[in-house]
């Protein structure tokens, strides 16, 4: 998608952003979120979004730039740009949500392993 050279007014842009934020907060189920994500974003935008999220998580896990570059096929400049944003409130919220998901997945595996052994 090309970006238009015609700018929105600040008021129009803020109104649209508010609608967008409200829309996102109304998505309650992962299936709804996936349908939105896949329909709203192009494949390229989805890839960019996924890589940014991956970089955030890997930086949080203190992975090296080299490891991140190799695993996600991104440049040092991209990693550095995101590294400079790691203390922002939104990024910290993402990390908090990812930590909870990671914890839940690990415990689910442990619990499922327990039941497999016992059965």
Other CB atoms within 10 Å distance of the CB of residue 17: 11
pLDDT digit string (tens) for 46-55? Answer: 999 999 999 9
Biggest CA-to-CA distance, the chain: 65
Q: 0.85 cut: is pTM over it?
A: no
When computed from its CA atoms, the radius of gyration of the chain, rounded to whole angstroms, is 18
Q: Which two tokens stand for residue 117?
A: 């052994």
* Per-residue model confidence as pLDDT tens digits over 25-68: 999 998 999 999 999 999 999 999 999 999 999 999 999 999 99
Q: Where are the domains of the chain?
A: 41-118
């Amino acid at each position: 998608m090309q970006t238009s050279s015609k700018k929105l007014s600040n008021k129009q842009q803020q109104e649209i952003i508010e609608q967008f934020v409200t829309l996102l907060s109304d998505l309650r189920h992962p299936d709804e979120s996936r349908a939105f994500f896949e329909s709203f974003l192009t494949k390229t935008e989805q890839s960019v979004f996924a890589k940014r999220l991956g970089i955030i998580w890997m930086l949080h896990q203190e992975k090296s730039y080299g490891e991140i570059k190799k695993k996600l096929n991104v440049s040092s400049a991209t990693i550095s740009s995101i590294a400079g944003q790691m203390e922002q409130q939104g990024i910290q919220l993402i990390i908090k949500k990812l930590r909870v998901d990671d914890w839940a997945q690990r415990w689910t595996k442990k619990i499922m392993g327990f039941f497999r052994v016992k059965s």
